[in-house]
Structure 1
Amino acid sequence: MPNPHLLLWAGLALMGVFAASQVLRYPGQVFWWVVKSAVLGCLFVFAVNWVGQYVHYHLPFNPMTAMAAGLLGIPGVAALIVLHLWLYA
Structure 2
Amino acid sequence: MHAYVYKSQRKADTYVYLATRDDFTLLPEALRAQLGALHFVLDVALTPGRRLAREDVDAVRGNLAVRGFHLQLPPSAAGDPMRDDWGTDA
| Class of the TM-score when normalised by the shorter of the 2 chains | under 0.3
- How does the TM-score come out when normalised to structure 1? 0.23
Question: Which structure would you say has the larger RCO, counting Cα contacts within 8 Å and 6 or more residues apart?
Answer: 2
Greater share of residues in helix: 1
Greater share of residues in strand: 2
Query: Which protein has the larger Cα radius of gyration, Structure 1 or Structure 2?
Result: 1
